[in-house]
Amino acid sequence: MEKIRVGIIGQGRSGRDIHRHLFETQAPLRDRYEVVAIADYIGERCVALPGVAPSPELKIYTDYKELLKNRDIDLIINATCSKDHVALSIEALEAGFNVICEKPVARRVADFDRLVSVAAVCDLVKSKAEGLSLRYGIPHIFTDYRKMLDSSAIDAVSVCTDHGSHALISLDALATGKHVICEKALSANRKDLGLMVAAESRYKDLVFSGVFQHRFESWYNYLRGIIKSGVFGRLLTINLNVLCWRGADYYAADEWRGTWSKEGGAVLINQAIHFIDLLGWMSGGVESISGSYANLTHLSIECEDVASASLIYKNGAVGALTATSSSPLEWEPVLSFNGTSGSLDLCNSEIRRINFRDKSLESQITREYAEIKQNDRELTLSKAYYGNGHPRQLANFISAIRGEEELRVPVHSAAHAVDIVLSVYESYNTGKRITLTF
């Protein structure tokens, strides 16, 4: 059988991975496919890969349009930046090739492309900004965010720095008239959290959002809806147990991690916070907390790798929260909702256990939940446990700026989870039960 002759456009990490995969990782593919052409406008990327013997016929192009003239190619793999996925794939199709485009999520990014463009990227480390600029074709780079904010070409800013710098950067951005979406956790301390929430009221004409992307996953919305509808009866206990692993290398990679001043905590404020937010968002909120924390195994960091809290919810239910980053399990968050009529445990968003007094209701919930999971399997750009909510949250942020949708995670709402986390620390430090502020 003749081999299928492949041309890969884009020799960034993805393009090289595909090349390597076709060559060696999946042995049966190697007998069926042969990479005969590669293209990347950065010439030095177009070199032989370690461990990959190039096809004797391999042609290298710095202009993909030249590759599209190579009539020996049967299949084009488009591994370019997401902004080029649609246009370049269509160009290759119209040139008569079969085309596979990397990352189906690109369609969503392409939708964004009609509405927004990334005008600038800023990082204290210039090479990081340059890398992103090259990879995604971002025209301007900065190392000083204030200089970036001076640009009138920017309408909105996404803040993705360490937690300790979120408030300062977000407030400076609002002060220059920019809309802001700030990654979790909004802040590393109470003072900054208060400033963020106050700024939301002050800058009413600007959209100011905190990131909690799991709120955009359809299955959590379904669960929140049935909790609100009362199918669980009176809610009695609502619990969360987060078991995960973060090693010394993770904490050593960036100087802010595991520090009180720049991260504001460790396992609670960084990993567990996603599910702490879901607890509050699904239940209607937490009223008060008594907590404790310790560092049992991560001796290189200042903050906690185990924590627990007893919660009283606004709806009267009580609950237990536990979290650790010293578990042998990489990522296992378990949420548990227990009421007088029904009870359900979710593990990594799958139903692990369900018991309702009304068995037909139990079957209906099981079926509907499975259908929602089945119908909502968009691929994600990154690690699976980040979920598929990020593009949706960005779409909501953009629509809110355009006045087309209500903002779904305003800052005061994102502040609740941070308040819960900071209250666990405060409770243990003071020996008191803490009533939440936000």
Ligand X SMILES: NC(=O)c1ccc[n+]([C@@H]2O[C@H](COP(=O)([O-])OP(=O)(O)OC[C@H]3O[C@@H](n4cnc5c(N)ncnc54)[C@H](O)[C@@H]3O)[C@@H](O)[C@H]2O)c1
Residues that bind ligand X (CB under 6 A): 122-125, 128, 145, 160-163, 165, 183-184, 211, 213, 254, 270, 386
Nearer to ligand X, 146 or 191 (CB): 146
For the record, the structure tokens of 417 come out as 């989870």
CA geometry: angle 74, 86, 140, nearest 5 deg:
120
**Is residue 362 within 8 Å of 343, Cβ to Cβ?**
no
Report the 10 Å Cβ neighbour count for 19.
22
Provide the 3-class DSSP secondary structure of residue 235. Answer: strand
Q: How far is the CB of 188 from ligand X (least distance, A)?
A: 9
Nearer to ligand X, 64 or 145 (CB): 145
3-state helix vs strand vs coil in the chain, percent to 5: 40, 25, 35
CA geometry: angle 304, 308, 312, nearest 5 deg:
135
Q: Does the CA dihedral 363-366-369-372 come out positive or negative?
A: negative
| 2 secondary structure, DSSP code | P
Provide the 3-class DSSP secondary structure of residue 211. Answer: coil
For the record, the structure tokens of 257 come out as 């991690």
Report the 10 Å Cβ neighbour count for 164.
18
Nearer to ligand X, 8 or 418 (CB): 418
Nearer to ligand X, 80 or 213 (CB): 213
Phi-psi region of 208 (alpha: psi -120 to 50; beta: other; left: phi over 0): beta
Nearer to ligand X, 238 or 417 (CB): 417
Q: How far is the CB of 239 from ligand X (least distance, A)?
A: 22
Q: How far is the CB of 373 from ligand X (least distance, A)?
A: 19
Provide the 3-class DSSP secondary structure of residue 200. Answer: helix
Q: How far is the CB of 413 from ligand X (least distance, A)?
A: 15
Nearer to ligand X, 81 or 211 (CB): 211
Q: Give me the DSSP letters along 83-121.
A: GGHHHHHHHHHHTT-EEEES-TTHHHHHHHHHH----EE
Q: How far is the CB of 207 from ligand X (least distance, A)?
A: 18
Q: How far is the CB of 398 from ligand X (least distance, A)?
A: 17
**Dist CA 138 CA 129 (whole Å):** 9
Residue among 228, 363, 335 at smallest CA distance from 279: 335
Nearer to ligand X, 19 or 257 (CB): 257
Nearer to ligand X, 77 or 267 (CB): 267
Q: How far is the CB of 161 from ligand X (least distance, A)?
A: 4
User: In b/e form, how buried is each residue of 146-159, taking b as 16+ CB within 10 angstroms?
Assistant: eebbeeeebebbbb
**Dist CA 436 CA 286 (whole Å):** 7
Length of the chain: 438
CA geometry: angle 122, 127, 132, nearest 5 deg:
60
Q: How far is the CB of 171 from ligand X (least distance, A)?
A: 13
For the record, the structure tokens of 352 come out as 């692990």
Nearer to ligand X, 163 or 215 (CB): 163
Pairing of strands 342-347, 350-356: antiparallel
Nearer to ligand X, 49 or 134 (CB): 134
Nearer to ligand X, 235 or 409 (CB): 409
* Helix H or strand E encompassing 312: strand 306-313
Nearer to ligand X, 211 or 243 (CB): 211
Q: How far is the CB of 242 from ligand X (least distance, A)?
A: 14
Q: How far is the CB of 385 from ligand X (least distance, A)?
A: 8
Pairing of strands 306-313, 286-294: antiparallel
Q: How far is the CB of 295 from ligand X (least distance, A)?
A: 19
Q: How far is the CB of 86 from ligand X (least distance, A)?
A: 26
